[in-house]
Structure 1
Amino acid sequence: MTDGKGIVSQDQIASVDEVIDDPHAPAFDFAVVNDEKAGIYEAVFGEREIAGLSYNVAGDDRLVLLATSVFPEFRKQGIASELIRRVLDDVRAQGKTVTIMCPIVRTFIEHNPEYADLIDLKHPGAAEGRR
């Protein structure tokens, strides 16, 4: 979720800041749809996709969480935090682990340690989020 050079973009910083500053549920409810073909969990409000968390499947028991994005008009409303929470809850329900490449997911878990047990010990991914 960097620009290819390991640098976090301004949009990513906004989502990381949301995860740090606003851990509460969003002001409105949205559905989460797992599009396994595309490898993305989509947050859908009405008929519109408002956010997504992309992933790759690694074997039968692990997902590599790649990138979280929220459309600009829906940022700073708790969407990223709630999407990540629901994705991690789904991963837990499936008995899987995660490798984290997304700094937003990493920051979320740092601030919500009850999800730390989902990180695959052999393949943890990115070292840390943004504090």
Structure 2
Amino acid sequence: MTSTEGVPPMINPIEPTRHALGYSDGAGHPDEEDILSQDQAVLIDEVIDDPRTPALDLQVVKNERLGTYDALVGGREVAGLTYSVAGDDRLVLLGTSVLSEFREQGIATELIRHVLDDARGQGKTVTILCPIVRTFIEHNPEYADLVDPQHPGVTLRRTHSS
């Protein structure tokens, strides 16, 4: 499979993703590009296409010891967003995951919204290494001010497959 100039080739031509990501120098991965996993692409599509509040009884709990925000439905952990702390004023958002049977229900969107609202409430900025969080912020610019200008993290570039 050939690629167009500046767009990386798809690694799985049977199930291509429509997203590519790149790391800014602030993320510690200068000039690298990668293709998202199929799971990440599904969650990005959820954030783009289905930003509604989930109908489920969703609770988000922060576990500082493990560095996670966990989304619970009926007491069951169904999603999580991992993070690390950088200094006193910055969170590094590492990755978002949702159990497959709970995807496309707005859980990723609400989890990310909760994490960003919590960071804002604490007066922190964020470095984004999670492409799902990056996509959320791109589609919800009211959170763009939270991205640390010195260490923004990953940037998202859309690619289109045929």
Which TM-score tier does this pair reach, normalised by the shorter chain?
over 0.9
Q: CA deviation at 1:128?
A: 2.0
Report what 2:125 is aligned to: 97
SS at 2:154's partner residue? coil
Counterpart in 1 of 2:85? 57
Do residues 14 (structure 1) and 14 (structure 2) align?
A: no
> How many angstroms does 1:26 deviate by?
0.5
Aligned equivalent of 2:14: none
- In the alignment, the residues of structure 2 paired with residue 39 and residue 24 of structure 1 have an alpha-carbon distance, to the nearest angstrom, of 26
Which structure: larger Rg?
2
3-state SS, counterpart of residue 23 of structure 1:
coil
After superposing on structure 2, the runs of 4+ consecutive aligned residues of structure 1 that deviate more than 3 Å are: none
| 2:4 matched residue in structure 1 | none
What CA deviation, in whole Å up to 9, does each residue of 1:27-50 have, x standing for no partner? 112111100010000001122100
Match of 1:107 in 2: 135
Matching residue of 1:70 = 98
Kindly state the Cα deviation for residue 7 of structure 1 after the two structures are TM-superposed: 2.5
Q: Is the 8 A contact 2:57 2:74 kept in 1?
A: no
Question: Which protein is richer in helix relative to its size?
Answer: 1
Q: CA RMSD in A?
A: 1.5
Structure 1 gap ranges (5+): none
Query: How far apart, in 1, do the equivalents of 2:158 and 2:106 lie?
Result: 17
1:71 counterpart letter in structure 2 = L
Matched residues in 2 for 1:70 and 1:54: separation? 12
Aligned position for 2:74: 46
Judge conservation of contact 2:89–2:123 (CA < 8 Å) in 1: yes
Letter in 2 for 1:39: G
Deviation for aligned residue 1:130: 4.7
Q: Is the 8 A contact 1:104 1:129 kept in 2?
A: no
1:79 maps onto 2:113 in alignment? no
Is 56-65 or 120-129 further displaced after alignment? 120-129
How many positions carry a matched residue from both structures? 128
Q: What is the CA distance between 1:67 and its match in structure 2?
A: 0.3
Give me the whole-angstrom Cα distance separating, in 2, the residues matched to 1:95 and 1:130. 31
Q: Secondary structure at the match of 2:51?
A: coil
Report percent identity of matched pairs: 67
